[in-house]
């Protein structure tokens, strides 16, 4: 039996803590925030679950992960179908026949494909090397200008030509009239919210949890007191930024309680122009099919923000420069921190979705316990 310290009570830390405790180890979890669940934290307001750190929709094609997460919550049948508001014009997302019809008046897949081909000709068969080229190559210049450029440049705080292509490949492009934002086999929102998932994972006699506790207040002591540490905070901060800072993107959430029944008619509305300072507004009750008090709703505006030390690092910026610095931190970790495992979006500096976090955490568990 070993003594583990888990730094961070987000999804990665909770899966690892649960699995270690189930194998008979003693686990202490410390979390610097005053609540559990990291960025998937949800809280009940007026009878509905409010996603405190932005819209979280669980989706996966990994059956093992889906079955795993279903042990901790029952999921509703929510299917994400955001809409885009470009200066008052409304388009369906992701990019599909509904979008192409509204934009170009095309009706058949063949007509839509012809329009895309005509517009992507500006690239002259060049292999896309950045987000702008990748977007134009996938759906042409009109959609790029109206639905991607403004949103992307405010979200990431840099030109689309300076961003990696993979970011836009997260979104499906379809020649069908299908507004489902994801291609995955399984999708939904946990009935009763996400926080219960982490609470249940951490509810074990072998696990002790301490919130409002920052690892860096007593780093050396923690490292001396425990056999092994699972660290899900920022890997560059762990090493006191000694090889330089990794870049992150931050966000500011502005939540409002309104005395109206239905504010925007959809859970997620993206504002894709460059001028509106927020990227999206979410109306939480629509994740639960209008549940909660009548004549009341809760909305959250999501404002992208530059990151500086002390801010919440919501997104890693996985471009070449940062990925190469991250590799150097990995080497440092292998040489100087053999008793520390780095996990999660911040510890592994990867743009992980929740299902990928669970999968990565289960892989770490298998490696750690030799299975
Ligand atoms: P986190 O949730 O960040 O947990 C890390 C924890 O460690 C935090 O609680 C932090 O406070 C704590 N910590 C850090 N440093 C210290 C320290 N020094 N001492 C103590 N504690 C510390 N995924 C999806 O699958 N679907 C979605 O729809 C989706 N939407 C998203 C929307 C937004 C706006 C964002 C930002 C993310 C979204 N994600 C989504 C991704 C999802 O949030 C992550 O995959 C997941 O939360 C990552 O879990 P984690 O445990 O790695 O990190
Ligand atoms: N994106 C866009 N317009 C939209 C939605 C997304 O240009 O209306 C781009 C943007 O660059 C974003 C990326 O697609 O960062 C991935 O979108 P996703 O919804 O996966 O972003 P996340 O939920 O991770 O913030």
Residue 297 CA to ligand 2 center (angstroms) comes to 25
CA distance 112 to 108: 6
Give the pLDDT band of residue 218 (cuts 50, 70, 90): very high
| Average pLDDT estimate for 12-21 | 98
Atom of ligand 2 at shortest distance to CA of 353? 24
pLDDT at position 206 is 97
pLDDT at position 290 is 80
Measured from CB, residues less than 6 Å from any atom of ligand 1 are 7-13, 30-33, 38-40, 53-58, 214-216, 232-233, 251, 314, 344-346, 352-355, 357
Distance, first Cα to last Cα, the chain: 16
371 pLDDT more than 90: no
Ligand nearest to the CA of 353: 1
The residues spanned by each domain of the chain are 3-79+186-247+316-368, 83-168
Give the pLDDT band of residue 140 (cuts 50, 70, 90): very high
DSSP string, 137-152: HHHHHHHIIIIIIHHH
Model confidence pLDDT, tens digit, residues 144-194:
999 999 999 999 999 999 999 999 999 999 999 999 999 999 999 999 999
Model confidence pLDDT, tens digit, residues 229-240:
999 999 999 999
pLDDT at position 160 is 97
Nearest to 285 by CA among 187, 354, 193: 193
Given phi > 0 = left and psi -120 to 50 = alpha, else beta, which region is 212? left
CA distance 343 to 349: 9
Atom of ligand 2 at shortest distance to CA of 272? 8
CA distance 163 to 126: 17
Residue 147 CA to ligand 2 center (angstroms) comes to 10
Supply angle C-alpha 286, 288, 294, rounded to 5: 70
pLDDT at position 150 is 98
Residue 100 CA to ligand 1 center (angstroms) comes to 34
Q: What is the domain class of 3-79+186-247+316-368 according to CATH?
A: alpha beta
Give me 161's structure tokens.
């030509």
Model confidence pLDDT, tens digit, residues 277-325:
999 999 999 999 988 889 999 999 999 999 999 999 999 999 999 999 9
Angle between the N-to-C axes of helices 63-70 and 354-368, in degrees from 0 to 180, rounded to the nearest 10: 90
Q: How many CA atoms lie within 13 A of 301 on its CB side?
A: 10
Residue 113 CA to ligand 1 center (angstroms) comes to 38
DSSP symbol at 44: E
pLDDT at position 292 is 87
């Amino acid at each position: 039996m070993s003594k583990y310290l888990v730094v961070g009570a987000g999804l990665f830390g909770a899966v690892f803590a649960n699995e270690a405790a189930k194998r008979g180890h003693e686990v202490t979890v410390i979390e610097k925030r005053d609540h559990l669940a990291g960025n998937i934290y949800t809280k009940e307001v007026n009878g509905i679950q409010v996603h405190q750190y932005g819209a979280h929709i669980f989706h996966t094609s990994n059956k093992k992960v889906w079955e795993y997460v279903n042990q901790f919550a029952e999921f509703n049948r929510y299917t994400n179908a955001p809409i885009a508001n470009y200066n008052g014009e409304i388009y369906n997302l992701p990019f599909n026949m509904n979008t192409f019809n509204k934009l170009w008046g095309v009706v058949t897949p063949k007509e839509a494909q012809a329009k895309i081909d005509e517009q992507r000709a500006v690239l002259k068969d060049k292999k896309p090397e950045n987000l702008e080229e990748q977007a134009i190559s996938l759906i042409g210049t009109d959609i790029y200008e109206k639905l991607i450029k403004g949103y992307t440049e405010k979200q990431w705080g840099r030109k689309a030509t300076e961003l990696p292509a993979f970011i836009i490949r997260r979104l499906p492009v379809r020649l069908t009239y299908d507004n489902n934002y994801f291609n995955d086999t399984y999708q939904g929102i946990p009935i009763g919210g996400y926080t219960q998932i982490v609470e249940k994972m951490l509810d074990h006699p072998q696990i002790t949890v301490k919130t409002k506790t920052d690892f860096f207040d007593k780093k050396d002591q923690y490292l001396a007191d425990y056999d092994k540490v699972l660290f899900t905070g920022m890997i560059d901060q762990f090493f006191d930024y000694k090889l330089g800072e990794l870049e992150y993107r931050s966000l500011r959430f502005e939540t409002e309680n309104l005395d109206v029944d239905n504010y925007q008619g959809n859970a997620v509305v993206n504002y894709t122009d460059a001028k509106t300072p927020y990227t999206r507004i979410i109306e939480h009750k629509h994740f639960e099919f209008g549940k909660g008090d009548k004549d009341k709703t809760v909305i959250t505006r999501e404002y992208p923000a530059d990151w500086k030390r002390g801010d919440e690092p919501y997104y890693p910026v996985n471009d070449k420069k940062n990925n190469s610095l991250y590799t150097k931190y990995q080497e440092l970790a292998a040489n100087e921190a053999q008793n520390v495992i780095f996990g999660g979006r911040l510890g592994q500096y990867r743009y992980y979705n929740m299902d990928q976090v669970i999968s990565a955490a289960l892989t770490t568990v298998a490696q750690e316990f030799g299975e």
